[in-house]
Amino acid sequence: MAIIVQKFGGTSVGSIERIQNVANRVIQEVKNGNRVVVVVSAMGKTTDELVGLAKQLSSQPSKREMDMLLSTGEQVSIALLAMALQEQGYKAVSLTGWQARIKTEAVHSNARIIDIDTSCIQQYLQEGNIVIVAGFQGVTEAGEITTLGRGGSDTTAVALAAALQADKCDIYTDVTGVFTTDPRYVKTARKLKEISYDEMLELANLGAGVLHPRAVEFAKNYQVPLEVRSSMEQERGTIVKEDVLMEQQLIVRGIAFEDQVTRVTVQGLPRGLQALPTIFTSLAHRGINVDIIIQSITNNETSSVSFSIRTEDLPETLQVLQSLGGVKVEYESELAKVSIVGSGMISNPGVAAQMFEVLAECGIEVKMVSTSEIKISTVVAQESMVKAVEALHAAFQLEEAAALNS
């Protein structure tokens, strides 16, 4: 019998009616002759509500106590789903992250999974149970409850699939698969039949919210086949795997974008080897993620560096830079990052030139650029973000290519 891991997000279990729908999807997989492990998130906006309660008591609540608080959200949904399955005559058992023996590093609010002892889950499966595991949480070696941060339930599901050597991991969401870009903004966006781990990892890192980057990384490292599909509609989704068919010659496979980007420029840095390590080590210690970095040599004595950050990190970034002394700091907010992704770029020169031409024709100024083998990212004005995505989607013929590939 195959082992299938299914993951359902907060929207999918947001009400009793939706939990019953999830139960039916799980039962369908059992009727196909498979053993099933289900990972679920907290119901709907439960996590946000719990955070709101904590904020009423403290402006900076303890991360340990926040983990204790937030981990209760998934306990509600796993127990209710187990009851729904039992009511239909199926054996089901719910397990918290620590009961499922998901070991994490000793970091509160953003822990990483380091090991999973699957003996407990395997025993329940052998006894004919559907096993329901709380996503987003684990336990340290010392017995402290931890949470995995944003997208933690995706990571839990893929990590369990890897540890159990599952035949497949299905990620059920409120969309029907991975699209060439966000269909809420671009009406011509089309669902892809399949996409490579590397392409999906780039899209996830660049703002596509369908899968969390850590989950994709886990899937790639352990070669776990993923399918992103709808929890509400009965149709095939998008397969994420190592190699994908390239017969349709999709040079660019998808476009990701995110707003609330700020460009920070530090001028008057002393020439030498220590200026950049000092800046970026200080930012890293504050947990501030820096994206695109551009250094310029201004004269024999000084240099400057520009980098992009999330706008929400600007106040703390300015604190760090002002503590350096002797430098001039400028910043520009209300920016956005627009990125094209596709493994076909490796063997097709001129993609960057075409991207810049399209943006220039639309009157969109490119403020920063970053590239890798399979992606090109540009920083543009936030007000031009959707216009840039629509133009690039049309220029690289993603609507037609996706339709042929579906």
Whether 185 maps to a domain, the answer reads no
Whether 197 is in a domain gets the answer no
Write the pLDDT tens digit of every residue in 128-164. Answer: 999 999 999 999 999 999 999 888 999 999 999 999 9
Cα distance between residue 392 and residue 394, in whole Å? 5
Report the chain (406 residues): mean pLDDT per 10 consecutive residues: 94 95 96 97 94 94 96 97 98 97 94 96 97 97 94 94 96 91 92 91 86 91 93 90 66 92 92 80 89 82 90 94 87 96 85 95 96 93 97 91 53
For residue 294, the enclosing domain spans 254-405
Residue finishing a domain among 159, 174, 189: 174
**What tokens appear for 7 in the block?**
């993951």
Note whether 142 and 270 are same-domain residues: no
Sign of the Cα torsion 109, 113, 119, 123 reads: positive
Q: Do residue 261 and residue 170 come from a single domain?
A: no
Strands 238-241 and 194-196: parallel
Same-domain status, 155 and 292: no
Q: For 263-366, where are the alpha helices, taking DSSP H only?
A: 275-285, 314-322, 351-361
Long-range interactions of 362-368: CB distance < 8 A, separation 24+:
362/387, 362/388, 362/391, 364/388, 364/391, 367/263, 367/332, 367/335, 368/263, 368/292, 368/294, 368/306, 368/308
- State whether 168 and 260 are in the same domain: no
As for how many domains the chain has, the answer is: 2
Straight-line distance from the first to the last Cα atom of the chain, in angstroms, rounded to the nearest whole number: 30
- The CATH number of the domain holding residue 358 is 3.30.2130.10
CATH of the domain at 158: 3.40.1160.10
The 3-state DSSP class for residue 386 equals helix
Of 125, 148, 174, the one marking the end of a domain is 174
Q: Is residue 385 part of a domain?
A: yes
The residue among 174, 207, 233 that closes a domain is 174
The Cα–Cα gap between 338 and 254 comes to 11
